Structure 1
Amino acid sequence: MKSIRQDYLLVDGYNIINAWPELIALKDDLEYARDKLIEIMAHYGAFRDYKVIVVFDAHFSAGGEVERKVVRGLTVVYTEEGETADSFIEKKAYALVRYGEKVFVATSDCAEQMLVLGAGAFRMSARELLRDVKRINKAIGDRYTENIQSYRRHELENRLNDDVVKRLDDIRHGRLK
């Protein structure tokens, strides 16, 4: 039995943080900026049905090993010492494409984009990802607003024809014929 194919989104975490205005504003608290990106990607991945992997460089950390953790339904990877997020993403994209998965890579690094295209993955710039995130958030907001308004009040009178409404009103007021 063949397993169901999963679409993947690999996100170059710091590249996206440094490209999105709302995340650039949070760079004084880098941990909060990372958490905000993870939260956004978790919602986006859930809506798009992507398996999301957000990758952060840890190549300046001494003695670090690859750290993976699942947060809010997505995988967060901190690369090992001496490894960049770019190299991790390239290897991961290549491996996933070899297994027949559909892979999207979100980064604005031109060299990275060319490498993942060569591996058979699809590239998505930080600006394209932000535009899609905003479009999806708007669609979700519109759908939520539409649902709230449609559930406000459904009076029976508004859904029945006039003859039935008149007869029910007569019954209610004791004016039976």
Structure 2
Amino acid sequence: AGYIVKWNEVPDKMHLNSTLHPVTPETAVPTRSLSAYRSQKDLFALDKELMQIFESTYGPVKRKQAPPPREVYTAPSSAVPSTKKRPSDRDDTEYLLIDGYNVIFSWEHLKKLAEDNIDAARATLTNVLCNYQGYRKCTLILVFDAYKVKGQREEVEQVGGISIVYTKEAETADMYIEKVTHQIARHHRVRVVTSDRLEQIIILGNGALRISSNAFLEEVRQAEAEIRDILRQKCAE
């Protein structure tokens, strides 16, 4: 029958030789103090020395290969809304906002007409823009300010596919265009026609594109030329 042997009596009681290797000067771990390894170089040497002793006793260590790095997506914090515009937030609709009086007094032929009859100048510009909108298929808003007209309320007319806005009392065309641009520029492509420098700066700050009145005149002339070519081709058929 078996019986319990105290740990300090094991060497006297065992019948077989111990499988544990006696500690010899060759295998003894150096009793070097860690305080001697102050630099990173010394710590690296200590690690290397300990590894050599470990491998000489238990065999080489099999190291696992590191897994390939994973792509990690960090969701933006809900406390800080992203300022980047996703493609799904925008559509292809182009809005064209035009400062009516700025254009009239920038285009020489309309300026001369306005000196005699401002209503005729507005009507001529409206007719030109109706043709332009019908060809370019944009959403066109023509703005005339009436801020000096006492008691004037904002009015919107639909003429030939374009919207004509007459601002309310104490609101300039600049103020109206700035307000609308701020509302729609984040979801639509917006261009503003004006030669007012301050207004151009505000427009850029709202994320819209700006074009001077004279540069827009060249666009209108180009569109009119293309329309004439189309009509000629249809007449020749």
* Superposition TM-score tier, normalisation by shorter sequence: 0.7 to 0.9
> Which residue of 1 is the match for residue 15 of structure 2?
none
Preserved contact between residue 97 and residue 141 of structure 2 (Cα < 8 Å): yes
TM superposition shift of 1:6: 1.8
Deviates more, 1:3-12 or 1:85-94: 3-12
> Which residue of 2 is the match for residue 80 of structure 1?
168
> Which residue of 2 is the match for residue 163 of structure 1?
none
The answer to whether structure 1 residue 12 and structure 2 residue 99 are counterparts is: yes
Q: After the TM superposition, which parts of structure 1 deviate over 2 Å for at least 4 consecutive aligned residues?
A: 2-5
> Which residue of 2 is the match for residue 165 of structure 1?
none
CA distance in 2, matches of 1:33, 1:50: 23
> Which residue of 2 is the match for residue 104 of structure 1?
191
> Which residue of 1 is the match for residue 228 of structure 2?
141
CA distance in 2, matches of 1:78, 1:115: 21
Structure 1 letter corresponding to 2:234: N
Instruction: Flag structure 1 segments of 5+ consecutive residues without an equivalent.
Output: 152-177
**For 1:121, which of 180, 184, 208 is the aligned residue?**
208
After superposition, where does 1:50-89 map in structure 2 within 5 Å?
A: 50-89=138-177
CA distance in 1, matches of 2:164, 2:190: 16
TM superposition shift of 1:21: 1.3
**For 2:179, which of 83, 91, 95 is the aligned residue?**
91
* Deviation digits for residues 5-39 of structure 1 (CA, Å, limit 9, x no counterpart): 42100000000000011211210111111111111
> Which residue of 1 is the match for residue 132 of structure 2?
44
SS at match of 1:26: helix
TM-score by length of 1: 0.80
Preserved contact between residue 141 and residue 165 of structure 2 (Cα < 8 Å): yes
TM superposition shift of 1:72: 1.1
CA distance in 2, matches of 1:66, 1:47: 28
Preserved contact between residue 174 and residue 199 of structure 2 (Cα < 8 Å): yes
TM superposition shift of 1:147: 2.6
Structure 2 letter corresponding to 1:129: F
CA distance in 1, matches of 2:91, 2:212: 27
TM-score by length of 2: 0.60
The answer to whether structure 1 residue 30 and structure 2 residue 118 are counterparts is: yes
More strand by share: 1
Q: How many aligned positions are there?
A: 149
CA distance in 2, matches of 1:55, 1:68: 9
SS at match of 2:117: helix
SS at match of 2:147: coil
SS at match of 1:76: strand
SS at match of 2:148: coil
CA distance in 2, matches of 1:92, 1:4: 17
Q: % of aligned pairs identical?
A: 37
More helix by share: 1
TM superposition shift of 1:3: 9.4
